[in-house]
Amino acid sequence: MSRPGLHDLEFEALRTALSDLPGFRAKQIWAGAYRQAAASYEEITTLPIDLRKRLETDLPFTVSDIIDETSSTDGSTIKRLHRLEDGETVESVLMLYPKRATVCVSSQVGCAIGCPFCATGRGGFARDLTPGEIVAQALHAARHVRTNDRTLTNIVFMGMGEPFLNYDAVLASVRILNDPQGFALGARSFTLSTAGVVPGIDRLASEKLQVNLAVSLHTVDDDLRNRLVPINRRYGVDELLRACHLYADRTHRRVSFEVALLDGVNDSLQHAKAMAGRLSGTLSHVNLIPYNATSKDLRASPSDRIQAFASALEGGGVPVSIRRSMGKEIEAGCGQLRARQAPD
């Protein structure tokens, strides 16, 4: 990307960029962009018209046009395809629960990890997103829920890309949206997900941010995980779990391990017992995820096997939940909407 836009800047950087203006102007712009979730300078009516016109040129709003949108029949899941300034596209998914509104955002255009069960990885990697391009996805969701007198309560970095391979931009976007004078979303309402980038986990353990960490584990068998999550060839299960345990010790925050159960691949009782043996006694929780199929070669595990897997983990002393599946009818799996828009 060429130059930073408004949503790329943390507040102190915004003040520096507007050093020729009275100090209160930066506060007005920050409040308009985040408390008000304005979609343009035109909506920040506390600013003089001539200043709005200047800012549109000097510090533009981040471009993130919605070019496709699909909704589940009950309206609880809304998937959007965002077109960025350079024409690249990324996805976000808004999930509406009775007491929560969660948006899943992307951190990269495509992904370099190459997990075989993920549509994003099959599309290859193009580039990192800027902080503003990440923030813009969350603000789109916030504006949507506000039209129904609701508030965006959670942001999860589980969309396209590997957040810890774009660490600085991801952390900047969290700080921007966490700022108490702006969007003011509490740190514990953010979840950063990684396929197992150990240096990123180690860095996050040193941050003074009480965000949640989720790790796409899927299995504790190194040979199998090498196939399911290729980055395991660089950071194996032993090293990954070492980093996760260190994170929990330093932050006193539990680590969520994400496990997508694949029929006949990683869903046996032997797999479950091995996982229980590695995680028992640690500050952790396992989320079992019914696979939202994106590959013709892989199928979701049947519900009885998912339940048996959960029971084996519980029997081994590991807290576990079976995640409610949302968005199957609209292909809410990561990368599916973007792949549908791609030229043949």
Q: Active-site positions?
A: 91, 334
Q: Which two tokens stand for residue 42?
A: 């035109």
**Which residue, 120, 136, 129, is CA-closest to 65?**
136
Enclosing H/E stretch for 287: strand 284-290
Spell out the residues 6+ positions from residue 161 whose beta carbon is closer than 8 angstroms to its own.
90, 106, 107, 108, 109, 110, 111, 120, 125, 128, 129
For the chain, give the number of residues.
344
Say which amino acid occupies 288: L
Q: Please state, in angstroms and rounded to a whole number, the distance separating the CA atoms of residues 161 and 110.
A: 6
Q: Please state, in angstroms and rounded to a whole number, the distance separating the CA atoms of residues 110 and 127.
A: 7
Give yes or no for a contact between 205 and 250, defined as CB atoms under 8 angstroms apart: yes
Q: How many other CB atoms are there within 10 angstroms of residue 327's CB atom?
A: 21
**Which residue, 135, 136, 120, 141, is CA-closest to 171?**
135
Residues pairing with 64 in the sheet: 84
Residues pairing with 194 in the sheet: 215
**Maximal CA-CA distance, the chain:** 68
Contacts 24+ apart (CB under 8 A), 148-152: 150/96, 150/101, 151/101, 152/101, 152/102, 152/103, 152/185
Q: Please state, in angstroms and rounded to a whole number, the distance separating the CA atoms of residues 125 and 161.
A: 8
**Which residue, 225, 246, 253, 228, is CA-closest to 237?**
225
